[in-house]
Amino acid sequence: MFTAAHRVTKITKNESLAPIEGDKTTTIPQNKNLHPEFSPEIPQTKKKKLFRTDTSEADDASSLELFQKRISPILRSPKASSCMECHLSGVDLKNYIGKTEEETFASLRSGGLIDLKNPDRSKILTFIKRAPKKESPISREVRKKEFDAFRAWIRLAVKDPELAAAKAGNDQLGPTLPLEVVRHTRKSRVLKSFVENIWSEVGRCVNCHSPELNRNQIGRNGLTKEDVEAISWVVPRNPAATLEMLIESGNIDTDNPELSSLITKPVGLEKHGGGPKFALGSRTDKNYRRFLNDYAAIVNGKYNKLEQLPEEPTEIAVLSKQQLRIVDLPARLDKKLLRVDIFRKVGRTWSKTRWATAESLINGERNMWQNVILVIAPRDSARAKKMKPNVSRLPAGRYLVKIYIDQDNKTKKDRDYQLGKRDFYGQVEIQGEWKPGYQPPKVIQFPAKS
């Protein structure tokens, strides 16, 4: 999947891979407790082997010869290990290999990663065997070589009385990052963040950036096949491939994430053939920048402490196909950012949390505001788990539409500014069915200022 810069880390004195109460640092453990991210249990289905193992060299070689020939080269290799197929940074098999056989064996043994009685059940082998659901052929081959090498070496090393008696040094091997940071760098979590922050609103982009829709543009207005392919970064129905395409095409700048064309073009800071798609300081702008800054920090190894991690949004939102239009807006509010928060009538009261929201600039010349609404729900709620982009919508019912307007252009000065009570303008009650589509939208009258 997507790639990242790698940073090798080393553990300091008296640290442990398992979280110690009151201590966020994680390293190789001095007891049986292991870092939860690296649980030794791997679910097995139908006792299917991950791959065959090769032990041909183990019959004749000593453990030291195997270590020098097959383990040390992993440490010296400029290439990333198979760990990097699941982690963007912070974890690498190199972290578990020392300069000598004695150092490596003693450290892994004291950390509970080598099983002296059942070497084939050593936890370090369990770590290596872990693979994503869709494993690339190259990574599969790398993982097989790593597993074969460690398995053959451990089988011989546990029989060596000198190695068994070797004492671990003060500096243990393994990753130094806190558990929360290790989990944050997992590619599966990064992809989830991409889906929530960007893919959930990809409907804004597909008309110009989907290859399925762009094929007919070849030959028109002088556009070549290469021109069309260059702008077709959306991979339909595949957010992982889309993220990979954005990275490879240079639309994401990991050195200056907020200068990425993925954000500068749709907010109007850079020339964009499709024109501005959302406003500076809007919810969408904040979400795009949240992902871009977080991704850049991960691949550049900026996270070392739990406190550095960004807070997870408390809500999940997806684009619906329902449109809301507000009419009879005064011309003086032209190009002011307007947000609506929509609450549903539940029994005799309004819902405590939003059911939908939308945010865009007012068109003062036409005295109106219109935007597609985002269906929204608290994270981990039953509603959130059922939501799907361009499928979810508000059901028929009674709703309260609260209107907020940035009359002082605070969001243009500070893109992280959140519209709040001071920006509240008024509210309108609506009811009935809400059909999807640009025409006809749900139309409401602009209220008098509350």
What tens digit of pLDDT does each residue of 331-380 get? Answer: 999 999 999 999 999 999 999 999 999 999 999 999 999 999 999 999 99
Which among 288, 275, 295, 210 is positioned nearest to 245, based on CA atoms? 210
Amino acid 2: pLDDT: 58
Which among 187, 194, 17, 185 is positioned nearest to 89, based on CA atoms? 185
Average pLDDT rounded to a whole number, residues 176-186 = 88
Residues 6+ apart with CB under 8 A from 390: 203, 318, 319, 320, 321
Q: What is the pLDDT of residues 80-95, one digit of tens each?
A: 788 878 888 778 888 8
Instruction: Tell me the two tokens of residue 199.
Output: 């893919």
CB 161 within 8 A of CB 59: no
Helices (H), 175-324: 179-184, 187-197, 206-209, 211-214, 225-231, 239-248, 261-264, 283-299
In angstroms, the first-to-last Cα distance of the chain is: 51
Amino acid 219: pLDDT: 67
Amino acid 44: pLDDT: 38
Q: What is the pLDDT of residues 135-168, one digit of tens each?
A: 878 888 999 999 999 999 999 999 999 888 888 7
Instruction: Classify the C-alpha dihedral 309-315-320-323 as positive or negative.
Output: negative
Q: What is the pLDDT of residues 242-277, one digit of tens each?
A: 999 999 999 999 999 999 999 999 999 999 888 899
For the chain, the structural domain boundaries read: 36-176, 187-308, 315-445
What's the CA gap between 125 and 71, in Å, rounded? 13
Question: Higher-confidence residue: 44 or 114?
Answer: 114
Residues 6+ apart with CB under 8 A from 387: 316, 317, 318, 375, 377
Angle at which helices 187-197 and 239-248 cross, to 10°? 90
- The pTM of the full predicted model, rounded to 2 decimals, is 0.77
Which of 54-58, 121-125, 130-134 is predicted with the least confidence, judged by mean pLDDT?
Answer: 54-58
- 315-445 has which CATH code? 2.60.40
Residues 6+ apart with CB under 8 A from 91: 37, 83, 175, 177, 182, 185
Cα 396 to Cα 345, 431, 442: the distances in Å are 11, 7, 12
Measured in residues, the chain has a length of 450
Question: Higher-confidence residue: 215 or 424?
Answer: 424
Q: How far is CA 189 from the centre of its chain?
A: 4
Q: Percent of the chain beyond pLDDT 70?
A: 86
Instruction: Classify the C-alpha dihedral 60-64-67-72 as positive or negative.
Output: negative
pLDDT at 37 over 80: no
